[in-house]
Amino acid sequence: MNFFTTIMGSGAAIPTLARHCSAQSVNINGFRMLLDCGEGTQNQLRAYHQKLQSFSLVCISHLHGDHLFGLPGLLSTMHLCGRTEPIDVVGPKGLKAILEPIFLFSNTILNYELRITELEGNDYRQVFEERRCKVFAFPLRHSVPTYGYVIEEIPRSANSAPRRYAYCCDTAYDETILPYIQNVNLLCMESTFANDFQAVADEKLHCTAAQAATLAQKANAKQLLLTHFSARYKELDTLMAEAQAIFPAAIAAHDGERYGI
């Protein structure tokens, strides 16, 4: 039974050649979904051999460009390549107000059904289900309304415990999310900065690697995947040392790499 995420972008707001804007391709026993869709995601999907039409769901964390600006282009390419299957897109309120005029004014009449679910408020809720997985959303703390997602597999055998993957990007340090991510198999946390930029992290409502590790430890996560690294860090040694001092099972996301859940 496969359950893994492949990183399309592990960079923060400004993409670099090594790290693109946020996006992940998640495979749950053959069901394919995207977490975030920053600028350039469709090229990254091609670069890492992820079939564009294979995705049935896109979950957008928030409406900052580095998580969203690839979505209109990807949806348009799906249309141009002959897609007829519907696609579900989940994200904060405002998603429709952004996407619909883009297609209207570019005279793009999609061949397929675009089903948009907008999130509002602070409840933990289920936002999607099909036979292989359920997806839940919960609020994060950032400068615009932002949601984390938990993807829970539906095991084939009733005896096996479902594996869970939590994605939290972008967010300030916030212990109120702990009940939603408790005991997850893999916790993906943004870690934009190292400790020396704690003041900037606080101001911009981002986490440091050490804060991400503290949340992983308090949530009793099995493993921690750090992502959303500021373009100022060419090497991640300092961030990883600071994280692993608190939570040894911390690893750094790299574009194109695949991580099992």
User: Would you please indicate which residues are annotated as catalytic (active-site) residues?
Assistant: 66
DSSP secondary structure, 212-225, as one string: HHHHHHHTT-SEEE
* CB of residue 203 to Zn ion, shortest distance in Å: 13
Residues 169-208 interacting with Zn ion (rule: CB under 5 A): 170
Residues 65-94 interacting with Zn ion (rule: CB under 5 A): 66
Residues 38-67 interacting with Zn ion (rule: CB under 5 A): 64, 66
- DSSP class of 4: E
Under the binding rule (CB under 5 A), the answer on residue 20 touching Zn ion is: no
Output 39 or 66, the one with its CB closest to Zn ion. 66
* CB of residue 38 to Zn ion, shortest distance in Å: 8
* CB of residue 197 to Zn ion, shortest distance in Å: 15
- DSSP lists the bridge partners of residue 128 as 135
Question: What is the β-pairing status of strands 258-260 and 164-168?
Answer: unpaired
Number of residues that bind Zn ion (CB under 5 A): 3
Question: Is residue 260 a contact partner of residue 223, using CB atoms and an 8 Å limit?
Answer: no
CA–CA distance, 236 with 252 (Å, rounded to integer): 8
* CB of residue 149 to Zn ion, shortest distance in Å: 15
* Residues sharing a CB contact under 8 Å with residue 81, sequence separation 6 or more, in sequence order: 52, 53
CA–CA distance, 164 with 243 (Å, rounded to integer): 21
Question: Is residue 252 a contact partner of residue 238, using CB atoms and an 8 Å limit?
Answer: no
Determine the interface stretch with Zn ion among 50-58, 110-118, 163-171, 251-259 (rule: CB under 5 A). 163-171
| Binding footprint of Zn ion on the chain (CB under 5 A) | 64, 66, 170
